[in-house]
Structure 1
Amino acid sequence: MNIGLIAGGGCFPLLFARAAKAAGHRVYAVAYTGQADPAIQEAVDAAAWLNVGQVEHLLGFFSRHQVTDTVIMGWVRKTVMFSDFQPDATALAFIAGLTETHDDLLLRSFAGLLEENGLRVRASTFLLPHILAGEGCWTKTKPTAGQWSDISLGWRIAKEIGRLDVGQCVVVQKGSVLAVEAIEGTDAAIARGGRLGGGDAVVVKVCKPNQDLRFDIPAVGMETVKTMQSTGAKVLAVEAGRSVVFDKPEMVSFADANNMCVMALTDKDARLS
């Protein structure tokens, strides 16, 4: 299979490329300049470094390499839309057809554009099912009764901001919402909320209620717990089966060494605890 990888930042695109190659697929990457890891160049059969608005070049690159299936993964700094966005004619027509530019609609519409051009859009985890978050508490440290209360509150708030397509993460402490993720991203929201809390903050990151699991699935990893540790946040709760986890053994070891709790929950776990 010839797979087209649309790569933003982070380690996810690189992990996928290596897994796809190991499975015998050919991988052709469109890597977003200033976002994707330069190492992607050596992990794929060919790569094109493009800006976010170069849709015609993206379609042409995939067509030349007879790509049939695509995946969309990795973060793209939303601020690029306000500072270095240079759309081509196809991108301008695409944007003109949007009723709003929230993440979910934007990605669904972009996936529709790819499919209209004969490209099947696959789930980002279809070759990496093992990185989905397994239910349970992964660390030696468990939540206190007060932290469980904050998890439950944070879960409800995070689901609501997800429904509104604002973000996926909130930071809570002692019944108060300290930070809500928006355009700045998860780590920045954790840092902001953790500083306001001054210790014992709870971080909740969930899938949006109507999330298209082909892309923009919540992700956590070492950077998440390092950011938490630097600002005094103590608990991380993510959604089981609907989030991806990078470097889990190292992440759990770091959390254990710093008396932090990391866990994956379902709606029932979080709301009834």
Structure 2
Amino acid sequence: MAGSGELPLEFLKSARKKNVPVITFAIEGVTEKSVEELSKETVWIKPFKLGKLLKEIEKRKVEKLTTLGKIEHRTAFSLKGLDIKAIKILSRVKNFKPETLIKEIFNEIEKLGVEIISPNEFLNHLLLKKGEILGVRPSREVLREMELGMKIAKEIATLDIGQTIVIKNGTVVAVEGVEGTDECIRRGAELSGEGFIVCKAARKKQDMRIDVPTIGLKTVKLIKELGGRGIAVEGEKTYLLTPERLDQFCKKHKISLASL
């Protein structure tokens, strides 16, 4: 099941290299059209048509399924076009947190005998080990700021508020909510000025099948443009899109990207 962004494409490219055919269930108006070129078959589903999705999965006798890509969290507040199955699920959930909603959908899919798997087998090359650094080595001051920021980001992520914070001089100036990573960074930069650090963390008990933190060149370019000096991510629990290009860009612009 593919949302927006580059991550589903990276998965499909890796699967193709391993000669694993993939059926992609894509969301109309959300998923990149280019998934069609890399998939054995692409099934387009309208947003919130869960009943249709389940029928298409069952029809194709799917055995294993993974989910990748971004779906804006703010869509939980504009649920237009829900089908009966989606309404039933929403009527029984305790809250609209991403993890809660995704797990409920997983429950429905698993009733069809489908195993929900982690995509890591195909995306291990995008995970940095703890202690790895891209770009320039952080100073002691920057590293201390990163370590403090990551402790706070981890708590925020575990509460399912967001995965990203912006910190400067030991003070958190922005916390990600439903607006997403890039908007959080813009808000933090506006409040703090140049020299800020961005920290992105996973939940304490991160289910690698659900909403894994991801960072790519687009976000790193934004951080550079706004005057950020460092990025901290969680080792072995954050996908880095095109890590080689990230490393080159960070070195060129004297930015530290550390896996803690």
TM-score calculated relative to the size of structure 1: 0.90
Q: Write the distance in 2 (CA, Å) between the matches of 1:107 and 1:211.
A: 13
2:146 counterpart residue number: 151
Map 1:139-218 to 2 at 5 A: 139-218=134-213
TM-score calculated relative to the size of structure 2: 0.94
User: In structure 2, the residue corresponding to 1:208 is in which secondary structure?
Assistant: coil
User: In structure 1, the residue corresponding to 2:199 is in which secondary structure?
Assistant: strand
Cα RMSD of the aligned pairs, angstroms, is 1.5
2:237 counterpart residue number: 242
Choose which of 5, 15, 19 in structure 1 pairs with 2:14: 19
| Residue pair 1:124, 1:215 contacting (<8 A) in 2 also | no
User: In structure 1, the residue corresponding to 2:259 is in which secondary structure?
Assistant: strand
- Letter aligned with residue 39 of structure 2: V
| Residue pair 1:219, 1:246 contacting (<8 A) in 2 also | yes
Alpha-carbon spacing, 1:137–1:199, altered in 2? closer, same or farther (3 Å): farther
Aligned residues: 260
Q: Deviations over 1:133-173 (max 9, x none)?
A: 22234235222233223212211211111121101110000
| Residue pair 1:146, 1:174 contacting (<8 A) in 2 also | no
1:90 counterpart residue number: 85
| Residue pair 1:198, 1:232 contacting (<8 A) in 2 also | yes
- Aligned-residue sequence identity (percent) comes to 27
Q: Write the distance in 1 (CA, Å) between the matches of 2:253 and 2:16.
A: 37
> Where do 4+ consecutive residues of structure 1 move more than 3 Å?
none
Asked if 1:251 is matched to 2:246, the reply is yes
Choose which of 33, 48, 54 in structure 2 pairs with 1:38: 33
Give, in angstroms, the shift of residue 117 of structure 1.
1.7
User: In structure 1, the residue corresponding to 2:67 is in which secondary structure?
Assistant: strand
- Letter aligned with residue 23 of structure 2: Y
| Residue pair 1:195, 1:232 contacting (<8 A) in 2 also | no
Give, in angstroms, the shift of residue 84 of structure 1.
5.4
Structure 1 gaps of 5+ residues are 1-5, 266-273
2:258 counterpart residue number: 263
Map 1:68-79 to 2 at 5 A: 68-79=63-74
Structure 2 gaps of 5+ residues are none
Give, in angstroms, the shift of residue 108 of structure 1.
1.8
Asked if 1:113 is matched to 2:120, the reply is no
